[in-house]
Structure 1
Protein backbone atom coordinates (compact mmCIF):
# COMPACT_ATOMS: atom_id res chain seq x y z
CA UNK A 1 0.00 0.00 0.00
CA UNK A 2 1.00 3.61 -0.15
CA UNK A 3 2.82 5.81 2.36
CA UNK A 4 0.86 7.26 5.28
CA UNK A 5 1.67 10.01 7.79
CA UNK A 6 -0.22 11.96 10.41
CA UNK A 7 -0.38 15.56 9.27
CA UNK A 8 -2.69 18.25 8.01
CA UNK A 9 -3.91 19.95 4.86
CA UNK A 10 -4.42 23.65 4.25
CA UNK A 11 -6.71 25.06 1.58
CA UNK A 12 -7.17 28.81 1.65
CA UNK A 13 -7.86 29.84 5.24
CA UNK A 14 -8.93 26.37 6.31
CA UNK A 15 -6.66 23.82 8.01
CA UNK A 16 -7.60 20.24 8.84
CA UNK A 17 -5.71 17.62 10.87
CA UNK A 18 -5.79 13.98 9.83
CA UNK A 19 -3.95 11.30 7.87
CA UNK A 20 -2.25 11.94 4.54
CA UNK A 21 -1.71 8.97 2.22
CA UNK A 22 0.36 8.78 -0.94
CA UNK A 23 -1.06 5.95 -3.02
CA UNK A 24 0.01 4.51 -6.37
CA UNK A 25 -1.64 7.25 -8.42
CA UNK A 26 -3.27 9.66 -5.98
CA UNK A 27 -2.80 11.61 -2.76
CA UNK A 28 -5.52 11.21 -0.14
CA UNK A 29 -6.37 13.14 3.02
CA UNK A 30 -8.69 11.74 5.69
CA UNK A 31 -9.75 13.83 8.65
CA UNK A 32 -12.64 13.68 11.12
CA UNK A 33 -14.57 16.37 9.24
CA UNK A 34 -12.76 16.76 5.91
CA UNK A 35 -11.66 14.38 3.15
CA UNK A 36 -9.78 15.00 -0.07
CA UNK A 37 -8.49 12.92 -2.97
CA UNK A 38 -6.26 14.26 -5.77
CA UNK A 39 -5.28 11.99 -8.67
CA UNK A 40 -1.77 12.50 -10.03
CA UNK A 41 -3.34 13.30 -13.41
CA UNK A 42 -5.06 16.34 -11.86
CA UNK A 43 -1.84 17.82 -10.49
CA UNK A 44 -0.50 20.82 -12.41
CA UNK A 45 2.49 21.45 -10.21
CA UNK A 46 4.08 20.22 -6.98
CA UNK A 47 6.75 21.68 -4.70
CA UNK A 48 8.22 20.65 -1.36
CA UNK A 49 9.79 22.86 1.31
CA UNK A 50 9.96 23.00 5.09
CA UNK A 51 8.00 19.79 5.53
CA UNK A 52 5.16 20.97 3.30
CA UNK A 53 3.97 19.53 0.00
CA UNK A 54 2.32 22.21 -2.14
CA UNK A 55 0.03 20.67 -4.76
CA UNK A 56 -1.41 22.84 -7.55
CA UNK A 57 -4.64 21.78 -9.25
CA UNK A 58 -7.28 23.57 -11.33
CA UNK A 59 -9.09 24.28 -8.06
CA UNK A 60 -6.10 26.01 -6.47
CA UNK A 61 -3.27 25.07 -4.12
CA UNK A 62 -3.53 22.46 -1.38
CA UNK A 63 -0.71 22.40 1.17
CA UNK A 64 -0.08 19.06 2.87
CA UNK A 65 1.89 19.14 6.11
CA UNK A 66 3.77 15.83 5.93
CA UNK A 67 7.11 16.64 7.58
CA UNK A 68 10.27 14.86 6.34
CA UNK A 69 8.22 12.94 3.73
CA UNK A 70 7.57 16.07 1.65
CA UNK A 71 10.59 15.90 -0.69
CA UNK A 72 10.35 12.12 -1.15
CA UNK A 73 6.65 12.40 -1.98
CA UNK A 74 7.33 15.19 -4.45
CA UNK A 75 9.73 12.90 -6.34
CA UNK A 76 7.23 10.04 -6.31
CA UNK A 77 4.52 12.30 -7.72
CA UNK A 78 6.79 13.73 -10.43
CA UNK A 79 8.41 10.40 -11.31
CA UNK A 80 5.98 7.64 -10.28
CA UNK A 81 6.93 4.00 -10.66
CA UNK A 82 4.66 1.96 -12.86
CA UNK A 83 2.39 -0.52 -11.13
CA UNK A 84 4.41 -3.37 -12.64
CA UNK A 85 7.62 -1.93 -11.17
CA UNK A 86 6.05 -1.64 -7.72
CA UNK A 87 5.00 -5.27 -7.97
CA UNK A 88 8.54 -6.36 -8.80
CA UNK A 89 7.79 -7.42 -12.38
CA UNK A 90 11.01 -7.70 -14.39
CA UNK A 91 11.53 -7.85 -18.14
CA UNK A 92 11.94 -11.34 -19.57
CA UNK A 93 10.43 -13.24 -16.65
CA UNK A 94 7.48 -15.62 -16.47
CA UNK A 95 4.31 -14.33 -14.79
CA UNK A 96 1.37 -16.57 -13.89
CA UNK A 97 -2.18 -15.18 -13.64
CA UNK A 98 -4.80 -16.99 -11.57
CA UNK A 99 -8.30 -15.52 -11.74
CA UNK A 100 -9.73 -12.53 -13.58
CA UNK A 101 -7.63 -9.38 -14.06
CA UNK A 102 -8.58 -6.17 -15.83
CA UNK A 103 -7.25 -5.58 -19.33
CA UNK A 104 -5.18 -2.58 -18.23
CA UNK A 105 -3.06 -4.76 -15.94
CA UNK A 106 -2.53 -7.34 -18.67
CA UNK A 107 -1.43 -4.55 -21.03
CA UNK A 108 1.03 -3.28 -18.41
CA UNK A 109 2.51 -6.75 -18.07
CA UNK A 110 2.89 -7.07 -21.82
CA UNK A 111 4.52 -3.62 -21.94
CA UNK A 112 7.01 -4.92 -19.38
CA UNK A 113 7.91 -7.67 -21.88
CA UNK A 114 7.14 -10.61 -19.64
CA UNK A 115 5.70 -13.94 -20.70
CA UNK A 116 2.19 -14.37 -19.30
CA UNK A 117 1.05 -17.88 -18.40
CA UNK A 118 -2.45 -18.79 -17.21
CA UNK A 119 -3.29 -20.69 -14.03
CA UNK A 120 -2.44 -24.23 -15.17
CA UNK A 121 0.70 -23.31 -17.09
CA UNK A 122 4.12 -24.62 -16.14
CA UNK A 123 7.52 -23.00 -15.84
CA UNK A 124 9.78 -21.18 -13.42
CA UNK A 125 7.78 -18.14 -12.33
CA UNK A 126 9.06 -15.02 -10.64
CA UNK A 127 5.57 -13.74 -9.82
CA UNK A 128 2.13 -15.32 -9.55
CA UNK A 129 -0.89 -13.01 -9.30
CA UNK A 130 -3.97 -14.53 -7.68
CA UNK A 131 -7.25 -12.56 -7.91
CA UNK A 132 -9.97 -13.08 -5.28
CA UNK A 133 -13.21 -11.20 -4.72
CA UNK A 134 -14.81 -13.04 -1.79
CA UNK A 135 -13.85 -15.11 1.24
CA UNK A 136 -14.93 -18.39 -0.35
CA UNK A 137 -12.51 -17.76 -3.23
CA UNK A 138 -9.61 -18.16 -0.80
CA UNK A 139 -10.03 -21.94 -0.75
CA UNK A 140 -8.08 -22.00 -4.01
CA UNK A 141 -5.23 -20.03 -2.40
CA UNK A 142 -4.01 -23.08 -0.48
CA UNK A 143 -3.86 -25.07 -3.71
CA UNK A 144 -2.04 -22.23 -5.43
CA UNK A 145 0.44 -21.98 -2.54
CA UNK A 146 1.53 -25.59 -3.12
CA UNK A 147 2.79 -24.60 -6.57
CA UNK A 148 5.09 -21.85 -5.25
CA UNK A 149 8.77 -22.72 -5.58
CA UNK A 150 12.01 -21.06 -4.53
CA UNK A 151 11.86 -17.28 -4.27
CA UNK A 152 8.68 -16.99 -6.36
CA UNK A 153 6.27 -14.31 -5.12
CA UNK A 154 2.54 -14.95 -4.77
CA UNK A 155 0.56 -11.72 -4.95
CA UNK A 156 -3.03 -11.97 -3.70
CA UNK A 157 -5.13 -9.17 -5.21
CA UNK A 158 -8.37 -8.45 -3.35
CA UNK A 159 -10.95 -5.62 -3.09
CA UNK A 160 -10.48 -2.79 -0.60
CA UNK A 161 -13.06 -2.10 2.08
CA UNK A 162 -15.33 -5.07 1.39
CA UNK A 163 -16.99 -7.16 4.09
CA UNK A 164 -16.96 -10.16 1.75
CA UNK A 165 -13.17 -10.37 2.11
CA UNK A 166 -10.75 -8.55 4.40
CA UNK A 167 -7.00 -8.24 4.77
CA UNK A 168 -7.17 -10.52 7.82
CA UNK A 169 -8.91 -13.19 5.73
CA UNK A 170 -6.11 -13.07 3.17
CA UNK A 171 -3.33 -13.02 5.78
CA UNK A 172 -4.82 -15.90 7.75
CA UNK A 173 -5.27 -18.11 4.69
CA UNK A 174 -1.79 -17.41 3.34
CA UNK A 175 -0.12 -18.10 6.67
CA UNK A 176 -2.06 -21.33 7.20
CA UNK A 177 -0.83 -22.40 3.75
CA UNK A 178 2.74 -22.04 5.02
CA UNK A 179 3.54 -18.73 3.35
CA UNK A 180 5.06 -15.56 4.79
CA UNK A 181 3.53 -12.14 4.05
CA UNK A 182 6.18 -9.49 3.36
CA UNK A 183 4.65 -6.56 1.48
CA UNK A 184 1.43 -4.70 0.68
CA UNK A 185 0.97 -2.57 -2.45
CA UNK A 186 -1.94 -0.46 -3.61
CA UNK A 187 -2.90 -2.37 -6.76
CA UNK A 188 -5.51 0.18 -7.84
CA UNK A 189 -8.02 2.60 -6.37
CA UNK A 190 -10.28 -0.39 -5.63
CA UNK A 191 -7.86 -3.27 -4.94
CA UNK A 192 -4.89 -4.14 -2.74
CA UNK A 193 -2.08 -6.61 -3.50
CA UNK A 194 -0.54 -8.61 -0.65
CA UNK A 195 2.76 -10.37 -1.31
CA UNK A 196 3.53 -13.84 0.05
CA UNK A 197 6.69 -15.93 -0.29
CA UNK A 198 7.92 -19.26 1.00
CA UNK A 199 9.91 -18.94 4.24
CA UNK A 200 13.64 -19.26 3.49
CA UNK A 201 13.88 -22.63 5.26
CA UNK A 202 11.25 -24.12 2.91
CA UNK A 203 12.84 -23.07 -0.38
Structure 2
Protein backbone atom coordinates (compact mmCIF):
# COMPACT_ATOMS: atom_id res chain seq x y z
CA UNK A 1 0.00 0.00 0.00
CA UNK A 2 1.14 3.51 -0.75
CA UNK A 3 2.39 5.30 2.34
CA UNK A 4 2.39 2.15 4.49
CA UNK A 5 5.58 1.11 6.13
CA UNK A 6 6.52 -2.50 5.44
CA UNK A 7 8.14 -4.32 8.35
CA UNK A 8 10.94 -6.78 7.64
CA UNK A 9 10.33 -10.39 8.56
CA UNK A 10 13.20 -11.60 10.75
CA UNK A 11 11.72 -15.00 11.57
CA UNK A 12 14.01 -17.82 10.61
CA UNK A 13 17.13 -15.63 10.70
CA UNK A 14 19.97 -16.39 13.09
CA UNK A 15 20.70 -14.05 15.99
CA UNK A 16 23.91 -12.91 14.30
CA UNK A 17 22.05 -12.13 11.07
CA UNK A 18 19.56 -10.07 13.09
CA UNK A 19 22.44 -8.25 14.77
CA UNK A 20 24.07 -7.46 11.40
CA UNK A 21 27.27 -9.44 11.96
CA UNK A 22 29.27 -10.10 8.79
CA UNK A 23 32.63 -11.89 8.58
CA UNK A 24 34.73 -8.81 7.87
CA UNK A 25 33.18 -6.60 10.58
CA UNK A 26 35.49 -4.96 13.12
CA UNK A 27 33.76 -5.89 16.39
CA UNK A 28 34.25 -5.13 20.10
CA UNK A 29 32.69 -7.21 22.85
CA UNK A 30 32.42 -5.29 26.14
CA UNK A 31 31.03 -6.65 29.40
CA UNK A 32 30.41 -10.15 30.68
CA UNK A 33 28.85 -12.01 27.73
CA UNK A 34 27.87 -15.67 27.72
CA UNK A 35 30.68 -17.95 26.56
CA UNK A 36 28.50 -19.50 23.84
CA UNK A 37 27.74 -16.04 22.40
CA UNK A 38 31.43 -15.08 22.38
CA UNK A 39 32.50 -18.40 20.84
CA UNK A 40 29.85 -18.30 18.10
CA UNK A 41 30.53 -14.63 17.36
CA UNK A 42 34.27 -15.19 16.96
CA UNK A 43 33.63 -18.26 14.77
CA UNK A 44 31.64 -16.02 12.43
CA UNK A 45 34.25 -13.24 12.24
CA UNK A 46 37.42 -13.17 10.13
CA UNK A 47 39.20 -11.52 13.10
CA UNK A 48 38.19 -12.20 16.72
CA UNK A 49 36.25 -9.49 18.53
CA UNK A 50 38.27 -7.08 20.65
CA UNK A 51 37.68 -7.26 24.41
CA UNK A 52 38.44 -3.55 24.87
CA UNK A 53 37.74 -0.28 23.08
CA UNK A 54 40.93 0.78 21.29
CA UNK A 55 39.78 2.23 18.00
CA UNK A 56 36.54 2.65 16.01
CA UNK A 57 34.32 -0.35 15.37
CA UNK A 58 31.59 -1.44 12.96
CA UNK A 59 29.73 -3.15 15.81
CA UNK A 60 30.10 -2.89 19.57
CA UNK A 61 28.28 -5.39 21.77
CA UNK A 62 27.91 -3.92 25.25
CA UNK A 63 26.34 -5.89 28.08
CA UNK A 64 24.66 -3.87 30.83
CA UNK A 65 23.70 -5.74 34.01
CA UNK A 66 22.74 -2.86 36.29
CA UNK A 67 22.38 0.92 36.52
CA UNK A 68 26.08 1.20 37.45
CA UNK A 69 26.90 0.05 33.88
CA UNK A 70 24.98 2.86 32.12
CA UNK A 71 28.07 5.15 31.84
CA UNK A 72 29.58 2.52 29.54
CA UNK A 73 27.12 3.57 26.81
CA UNK A 74 28.60 7.05 26.13
CA UNK A 75 32.14 5.64 26.49
CA UNK A 76 31.35 3.04 23.83
CA UNK A 77 29.54 5.53 21.57
CA UNK A 78 32.73 7.49 20.83
CA UNK A 79 34.29 4.31 19.42
CA UNK A 80 31.65 3.75 16.71
CA UNK A 81 32.46 4.12 13.04
CA UNK A 82 30.06 6.54 11.32
CA UNK A 83 27.90 3.70 10.00
CA UNK A 84 28.49 1.52 13.06
CA UNK A 85 26.06 0.03 15.54
CA UNK A 86 26.17 -0.14 19.32
CA UNK A 87 24.12 -3.08 20.56
CA UNK A 88 23.31 -2.76 24.25
CA UNK A 89 22.24 -6.02 25.90
CA UNK A 90 20.25 -5.13 29.01
CA UNK A 91 17.89 -6.87 31.45
CA UNK A 92 14.32 -7.25 30.29
CA UNK A 93 10.98 -7.65 31.94
CA UNK A 94 9.12 -6.17 34.86
CA UNK A 95 11.48 -4.88 37.50
CA UNK A 96 14.50 -4.85 35.18
CA UNK A 97 17.26 -2.48 36.21
CA UNK A 98 18.15 -0.44 34.36
CA UNK A 99 14.80 -0.01 32.65
CA UNK A 100 14.36 0.18 28.88
CA UNK A 101 13.69 3.90 29.30
CA UNK A 102 16.94 4.44 31.24
CA UNK A 103 18.96 2.59 28.60
CA UNK A 104 17.28 4.55 25.81
CA UNK A 105 17.71 7.94 27.49
CA UNK A 106 21.39 7.21 28.16
CA UNK A 107 21.94 6.35 24.50
CA UNK A 108 20.10 9.47 23.36
CA UNK A 109 22.12 11.63 25.78
CA UNK A 110 25.27 10.15 24.19
CA UNK A 111 24.13 11.55 20.82
CA UNK A 112 22.83 8.29 19.39
CA UNK A 113 19.41 7.16 18.21
CA UNK A 114 17.86 3.76 18.86
CA UNK A 115 16.44 2.09 15.79
CA UNK A 116 16.03 -1.62 16.48
CA UNK A 117 15.27 -4.04 19.30
CA UNK A 118 15.91 -7.78 19.22
CA UNK A 119 15.43 -10.63 21.65
CA UNK A 120 18.86 -11.69 22.88
CA UNK A 121 18.25 -14.20 25.66
CA UNK A 122 15.68 -15.18 28.27
CA UNK A 123 17.02 -12.46 30.55
CA UNK A 124 18.26 -9.72 28.19
CA UNK A 125 17.00 -7.58 25.32
CA UNK A 126 19.27 -6.07 22.67
CA UNK A 127 18.74 -2.42 21.68
CA UNK A 128 20.65 -1.01 18.70
CA UNK A 129 21.94 2.54 18.78
CA UNK A 130 23.47 4.34 15.80
CA UNK A 131 24.85 7.76 14.97
CA UNK A 132 22.02 9.91 13.54
CA UNK A 133 22.00 10.17 9.73
CA UNK A 134 22.38 13.95 9.90
CA UNK A 135 25.74 13.52 11.67
CA UNK A 136 27.26 10.92 9.35
Question: What is the TM-score of this pair, normalised by structure 1?
Answer: 0.58
Cα distance in 2, alignment partners of residues 202 and 106 from structure 1: 31
What is the aligned partner in structure 2 of residue 138 from structure 1?
Answer: 70
Work out the CA distance in 2 between the residues paired with 1:194 and 1:181: 7
- Relative to structure 1, is the Cα distance of residues 197 and 103 closer, same or farther in structure 2, using a 3 angstrom cutoff? same
Structure exhibiting the larger radius of gyration computed from Cα positions: 1
Q: 1:59-96 CA distances to partner (integer Å, 9 max, x unpaired)?
A: xxxxxxxxxxxxx79xx4xxx22111110100121111
Q: Structure 2 unaligned runs (5+)?
A: 1-8
Matches within 5 A, 1:37-56: none
Once the two structures are superposed, what CA deviation does each residue of 1:124-167 show, in whole Å capped at 9, x if it has no partner?
52210111011121012112112223100000001112432110
Q: Gaps (5+ residues) in structure 1?
A: 1-71
Which of 30, 35, 40 is the aligned partner of 1:108? 40
Higher strand proportion (structure 1 or 2) = 1
Match of 1:195 among 128, 131, 136: 128
- For residues 16 and 53 of structure 2, what CA distance do their matches in structure 1 show? 22
Q: Residues 121, 202 of structure 1: CA spacing in aligned structure 2 closer, same or farther, 3 A cutoff?
A: same
Matches within 5 A, 1:46-85: 76=11, 80-85=12-17
TM-score by length of 2: 0.84
Aligned length: 126
Residue pair 2:29, 2:61 contacting (<8 A) in 1 also = yes
Q: Considering Cα pairs closer than 8 Å and 6+ residues apart, tell me whether 1 or 2 has the greater RCO.
A: 2
Cα contact 1:100–1:131 (8 A) shared by 2: yes
> Structure 2 matches for 1:1-203, cutoff 5 A?
76=11, 80-115=12-47, 116-122=49-55, 124-161=56-93, 162-203=95-136
Deviates more, 1:88-97 or 1:107-116: 107-116
